[in-house]
Amino acid sequence: MSARQVLDIELEDLPEVYQDVARAVGVENTIKLAEYLGGMYMYFPKLDALLRQKRDEAIRAEFNGSNYRELARKHKLTEQSIRNIVNASKDSRQTDMFS
């Protein structure tokens, strides 16, 4: 599809199923996705697990041995959650050492 044809397409011109995508990424990018993925089924899993993993990595990197309360406030978690995250890291390293 030419750039001129894309410019003529408005949100309301798109099929309803594409309109939510267009609201998120724009009409032009939606058209690019449709051209690239057209006819395929694509599932986008939630990012919760990845975001949680990255958060936990950050907590472990920031942990200094005694800053449970500070990390809990910063990451909006309980101190016990911080302890669990830090201890899970210790447990996995210990398992790796003796495997």
Domains contained in the chain, CATH given: 3-37 (no CATH), 48-98 (1.10.10)
Q: Band of the pLDDT at 2, cuts 50, 70, 90? A: low
Distance (Å, whole) CA 87 – CA 28: 47
**DSSP calls for 79-97:** HHHHHHHHHHHHHHHHHHH
pTM of the model: 0.57
**Hey, what amino acid is at 64?**
N
Q: Which residue has the tokens 């790796």?
A: 96
Q: What is the pLDDT of residues 48-89, one digit of tens each?
A: 999 999 999 999 999 999 999 999 999 999 999 999 999 997
Please report the pLDDT score of residue 93 as a whole number: 55
